[in-house]
Structure 1
Amino acid sequence: MGTSDCWHCEQRSSLKDDSPLSVDNENGSETGSLSIVVLGASGDLAKKKTFPALFNLYKQGFLLANEVCIFGYARTKISDEELRNRIHGYLVKAKDASPEQLEIVSKFLHLIKYVSGSYDSEDDFRLLDKEISKHESITNTAEGSSRRLFYLALPPSVYPSVSKMIKTSCMNKSDLGGWTRVVVEKPFGKDLESAEQLSTQIGGLFEEPQIYRIDHYLGKELVQNMLVLRFANRLFLPLWNRDNIANVQIVFKEDFGTEGRGGYFDQYGIIRDIIQNHLLQIFCLVAMEKPVSLSPEHIRDEKVKVLESVLPIEDDDVVLGQYEGYRDDPTVPDHSNTPTFATVILRVHNERWEGVPFILKAGKALGSRKADIRVQFKDVPGDIFKCQKQGRNEFVIRLQPSEAMYMKLTVKQPGLEMATIQSELDLSYIQRYQGVTIPEAYERLILDTIRGDQQHFVRRDELKASWEIFTPLLHRIDKGEFKSIPYKPGSRGPAEADELLEKAGYVQTHGYIWIPPTL
């Protein structure tokens, strides 16, 4: 995660190590020591995402040196300085390495301490607790008012043992305004049974308000915009239903394959890796009813309701694919049926969405890299301009790259003739919000965790409902009863997927391509 110049930079350069920490949340401001423990500190996730996110929060003044201490914990036996050296290159790129930037990096790195230990040893976690308590003592934090955040950048297989060690050895000692919170990364199990088992194990140790199941897609700027778009604009309220919308596509494409992660990916496949979590979370925000308020629980209540309204997935509504060359990876079994591509149609049985297909599509080694939401409206009745073949109105939200929202419209082509053409009303963030840095998803979600805001995290009943939708299909794939169709790397995926879209009523636009603007 690189850095860029923006209006925050003047603030960052003026940060003082002795500035008081005040984090506003629904319960008022919190003061006192904040200990952030990154478990799995030597792993890729921690180095590439967690520590850079914490660094960006520090630069923007959300983590201040007189209150916060960051602890790395892992089995690897290294020193504080060795961990800092490993992290350094992920915090600032060479081209941004001005003396001022390097000074900020240096100050941040000195907030990091390292503790080596096993993930199932009480003695090792008592040592971690001792180091945290030492930090709390130095900051003169009253007993029970300290805040402890444990970020599990670890495989799910060790979640139960690590959670148990935190509970027995590292909890905040009393409840005088302080707290202990645990962040767990996906995948949350492999099916309904394993997810429920994991939830039961962790839920037996912590209360639901202490558990933050992170899905980083919920931290993306354009995903966070969904509720505002839908419920703060009169324009969309009468249109957002089965009377006007023909279909909705939620698409995730990568132009590269598994690239060294074949063995890991083969255990999960594209549905577990992308669709069941990331795309389904977006689906909830597109399809849910208006919540009573912006309270996290009211929002998550509506997400659960729409998930419970999804009908069982039919075989005819699924196309699976596997790119040619996937099994050449020596870590992938020779006869693997694991899909690297999937198109799945969800159908919602409620008054708003009856008959509207929600098309969730994700794939690796495709011809482009993007993630977007595409809401396609129905044809205009009585087409006097004879322009339906050009395409329908569409509202498109480009999540990545080149964040944007645009509405595809039919307009008159400039000139003396009465001819129509497809064009767009375009809100491209790179043009409209010049000089504004869009936060990375992880820094936003970590800040939400510190603030105690669970709106953008997955609740247990929400997780259960999502697995109930996909588990029957996943079990059939695992048993080899549902085959993956080969497709060429760099293509659109299997031809059968395009046929499924056409059958679902999606009308492709011809002769029009949205071109992301550049500065």
Structure 2
Amino acid sequence: MTRASASTGASERDWTNPLRDPRDKRLPRIAGPCGLVIFGVTGDLSRKKLMPAIYDLANRGLLPPGFALTGFARREWGQEDFGQVVYEAVKQYARTPFRQEVWDRLAEGFRFVQGSFDDDDAFDRLEQTVADLDRIRGTSGNHAFYLSIPPSAFPVVCKQLARSGLSAQDVEQWRRVVIEKPFGHDLQSARELNEIVDEVFPEDSVFRIDHYLGKETVQNILALRFANQLFEPIWNSHYVDHVQITMAEDIGLGGRAGYYDGIGAARDVIQNHLLQLLAFTAMEEPTSFSSDELRAEKIKVLNATRLVGPLDETTARGQYTGGWQGGELVRGLKEEEGFDPNSHTETFAAITCEVNSRRWAGVPFYLRTGKRLGRRVTEIAVVFKRAPHLPFDATMTEELGQNAFVIRVQPDEGVTMRFGSKVPGSQMEVRDVTMDFGYGTAFTEASPEAYERLILDVLLGEPSLFPVNEEVERSWEILDPVIEHWAAQEKGPDPYPAGSWGPESAQQMLARTGRAWRRP
């Protein structure tokens, strides 16, 4: 394997230094006076991702000195109880080292409000808490509300925010709402949800979190494509045979089986994560990297994206069964606690799309996702057409495949290129080799967690990495026919053994066109 490396040309920066040179354009902006309110603060997302991300931002010097964090939940906690929960979450899950002085300053802004979502008194107390923070912490009326709650609770919380005046904003203060996926379960429900949220918050104050868009490697797609002349001439249907976008997990549902039943892999991953990755891969170069320009180019791609049929042959779905995985005997889906053994909810889904544009006409985009697959990986593989003429004997190239450019989103972030090279020796034998670029070895600065970037963007009012209504609804328009097609079939998802790469029907889906899935 040939390994490529890169240098940043600068020593590692000290994010915690308050005397950073403001002329250094590489440094991110620091949020102004503000606070964040988390609904659902007792959940795993808050404990494992949100609280640690907030501490990491503070540790990097990117939050204002008077930043305030308020938790809202039904638990009968006091301020000290809430502070202890945040402390334990930070100690266990924070990315950056724990520093007592940072923690002490951050903890001064912790508040907790006890109540349920339909409790008017609780929201009135929350409004008073926010007002007190404006006076004591200097948050200046700027507050974001993070709805880390089930979508079914969005309407009541939004209405309470409006009733209590918490959503009110003017030219001197901002109020924003952060919504976690799923954004509905089909097009109709997504539209209804958007209408409810839009009644309370203007569109530019609504931030729909897709944590994949906060990953460095997803953003690097744009850098690779538009900062390098190397790829542009071949990034089209003249040279690209097909594109595979994969998000594979090696874990099962476990305790989430009851929640997952009725949602499925297509709704959970393809509708948001994978279609967004498709848009980044296929979009044209924006005139600038402003949020409006980026969104406009993504929406163009989604509007041009169509399913390839017939759906019986160009889609596949499956449910994992028990078996050996990683030296461990694991349970099948229907043995998971809380899962209906008669359910047709899929844990593996694959679809075929095309982007009907001059650049991509005729190039299939294969999107797949699943649980209990061979390994945990998310990648985008651009597979190129074979050379039109090979001046070699067939025996000399029998181990030669198609050139591929692979962007690894997780877990080992980086880029791999696959191409043919002569095998050392007296014979002209050509074999595939790979050249690899890894973020971990090329840069001294560690990549921040996706939630760090996204929470900071919310506080800064930077919407580039957040899908708007039109993107969400168009994604459902693409996926809904597949969901409806599967629902109309008497036959359920095809079984596949844990540790494999999905059901046989998924392999046949590509084999019909003379192609095969990559083994990441």
Question: Residues 266 and 318 (structure 1 numbering): CA distance in 2 closer, same or farther, change over 3 Å?
Answer: same
Aligned-partner SS, 2:305: coil
Aligned-partner SS, 1:384: coil
Equivalent of residue 334 in structure 1, options 327, 337, 341? 341
Equivalent pair of 2:399/2:430 in contact (CA under 8 Å): no
Equivalent of residue 500 in structure 1, options 504, 509, 512? 509
Equivalent pair of 1:313/1:473 in contact (CA under 8 Å): no
Residue in structure 2 matched with residue 270 of structure 1 by the alignment: 265
Equivalent pair of 1:128/1:170 in contact (CA under 8 Å): no
Residues 1:137 and 2:135 aligned together:
yes
CA apart distance, 1:496: 2.1
CA apart distance, 1:106: 4.4
Residues in 2 aligned to 1:268 and 1:448: alpha-carbon distance in whole angstroms: 29
Residues 1:474 and 2:483 aligned together:
yes
Residue in structure 1 matched with residue 87 of structure 2 by the alignment: 88
Question: Residues 84 and 504 (structure 1 numbering): CA distance in 2 closer, same or farther, change over 3 Å?
Answer: farther
Residues in 1 aligned to 2:401 and 2:151: alpha-carbon distance in whole angstroms: 45
Equivalent pair of 1:57/1:443 in contact (CA under 8 Å): yes
Question: Residues 317 and 146 (structure 1 numbering): CA distance in 2 closer, same or farther, change over 3 Å?
Answer: same
Aligned-partner SS, 1:225: helix
Kindly provide the CA deviation profile for residues 309-344 of structure 1, in whole angstroms up to 9, marking residues without a partner as x: 122452121011101120112311121111100111
Equivalent of residue 159 in structure 2, options 164, 167, 170? 164
Residues 1:451 and 2:460 aligned together:
yes
Residues 1:303 and 2:269 aligned together:
no
Q: Which has the higher contact order (CA 8 A, sep 6+)?
A: 2
Kindly provide the CA deviation profile for residues 99-136 of structure 1, in whole angstroms up to 9, marking residues without a partner as x: x6355344433432111122123321121111111111
Kindly provide the CA deviation profile for residues 214-235 of structure 1, in whole angstroms up to 9, marking residues without a partner as x: 1001001100111121122111
Which deviates more, 173-182 or 259-268? 173-182
Residues in 1 aligned to 2:452 and 2:367: alpha-carbon distance in whole angstroms: 27
Residues in 2 aligned to 1:489 and 1:258: alpha-carbon distance in whole angstroms: 12
Equivalent of residue 291 in structure 1, options 272, 286, 289? 286
Residue in structure 1 matched with residue 357 of structure 2 by the alignment: 350
Q: CA RMSD in A?
A: 2.7
Equivalent pair of 1:189/1:198 in contact (CA under 8 Å): yes
Residues 1:187 and 2:182 aligned together:
yes
Residues in 2 aligned to 1:95 and 1:53: alpha-carbon distance in whole angstroms: 7
Residue in structure 1 matched with residue 125 of structure 2 by the alignment: 127
Equivalent of residue 381 in structure 1, options 375, 380, 388? 388
Residue in structure 2 matched with residue 401 of structure 1 by the alignment: 411
Residue in structure 2 matched with residue 44 of structure 1 by the alignment: 44
Structure 1 letter corresponding to 2:245: I
> Which structure 1 residue ranges, 5 or more long, are not aligned?
1-5, 515-519
Residues in 2 aligned to 1:225 and 1:352: alpha-carbon distance in whole angstroms: 21
Residues in 1 aligned to 2:223 and 2:491: alpha-carbon distance in whole angstroms: 39
Residue in structure 2 matched with residue 424 of structure 1 by the alignment: 434
Residues in 1 aligned to 2:94 and 2:202: alpha-carbon distance in whole angstroms: 45
Aligned-partner SS, 2:265: helix
CA apart distance, 1:423: 1.3
Residue in structure 2 matched with residue 75 of structure 1 by the alignment: 74
Residues 1:415 and 2:412 aligned together:
no
Aligned-partner SS, 1:45: helix
Equivalent pair of 1:152/1:183 in contact (CA under 8 Å): yes
Residues in 2 aligned to 1:176 and 1:350: alpha-carbon distance in whole angstroms: 41
Residues in 1 aligned to 2:211 and 2:45: alpha-carbon distance in whole angstroms: 12
Query: Within 5 Å, which residues of 2 pair with 1:26-41?
Result: 31=32, 33-41=33-41
Question: What fraction of aligned residue pairs are identical, expressed as a percent?
Answer: 37
Equivalent pair of 1:344/1:359 in contact (CA under 8 Å): yes
Residue in structure 2 matched with residue 3 of structure 1 by the alignment: none
TM-score between both structures, scaled by the size of structure 1: 0.89
CA apart distance, 1:419: 2.0
Equivalent pair of 2:169/2:175 in contact (CA under 8 Å): no
Equivalent pair of 2:291/2:464 in contact (CA under 8 Å): yes
Query: Within 5 Å, which residues of 2 pair with 1:363-374?
Result: 363-374=370-381
Equivalent pair of 1:247/1:506 in contact (CA under 8 Å): no
Structure 2 letter corresponding to 1:408: R
> Which structure 2 residue ranges, 5 or more long, are not aligned?
1-10, 322-331
Kindly provide the CA deviation profile for residues 470-508 of structure 1, in whole angstroms up to 9, marking residues without a partner as x: 112213334544631011111111122122123344356
Residue in structure 2 matched with residue 207 of structure 1 by the alignment: 202
Residues in 2 aligned to 1:260 and 1:242: alpha-carbon distance in whole angstroms: 44
Aligned-partner SS, 2:234: coil
Residues in 1 aligned to 2:31 and 2:93: alpha-carbon distance in whole angstroms: 36
Structure 2 letter corresponding to 1:414: P
Residues in 1 aligned to 2:87 and 2:297: alpha-carbon distance in whole angstroms: 42
Equivalent pair of 1:125/1:170 in contact (CA under 8 Å): no
Which deviates more, 215-224 or 232-241? 232-241
CA apart distance, 1:300: 1.1
Question: Residues 131 and 96 (structure 1 numbering): CA distance in 2 closer, same or farther, change over 3 Å?
Answer: closer
Aligned-partner SS, 2:185: coil
Residues 1:258 and 2:253 aligned together:
yes
Residues in 2 aligned to 1:359 and 1:172: alpha-carbon distance in whole angstroms: 41
Residues 1:323 and 2:330 aligned together:
no
Equivalent pair of 2:209/2:454 in contact (CA under 8 Å): yes
Kindly provide the CA deviation profile for residues 332-379 of structure 1, in whole angstroms up to 9, marking residues without a partner as x: 112111110011111222221111110001010111111100000000
Kindly provide the CA deviation profile for residues 202-224 of structure 1, in whole angstroms up to 9, marking residues without a partner as x: 11111100100110010011001
Aligned-partner SS, 1:49: helix
Q: Which runs of 4+ in 1 moved over 4 A?
A: 28-31, 94-98, 479-482
Question: Residues 117 and 249 (structure 1 numbering): CA distance in 2 closer, same or farther, change over 3 Å?
Answer: same
Equivalent of residue 110 in structure 2, options 112, 117, 120? 112
Structure 2 letter corresponding to 1:72: G
Which deviates more, 51-60 or 422-431? 422-431
CA apart distance, 1:82: 1.4
Residues 1:230 and 2:221 aligned together:
no
Residues in 2 aligned to 1:420 and 1:174: alpha-carbon distance in whole angstroms: 65
Question: Residues 126 and 235 (structure 1 numbering): CA distance in 2 closer, same or farther, change over 3 Å?
Answer: same
Number of residue-to-residue matches in the alignment: 491
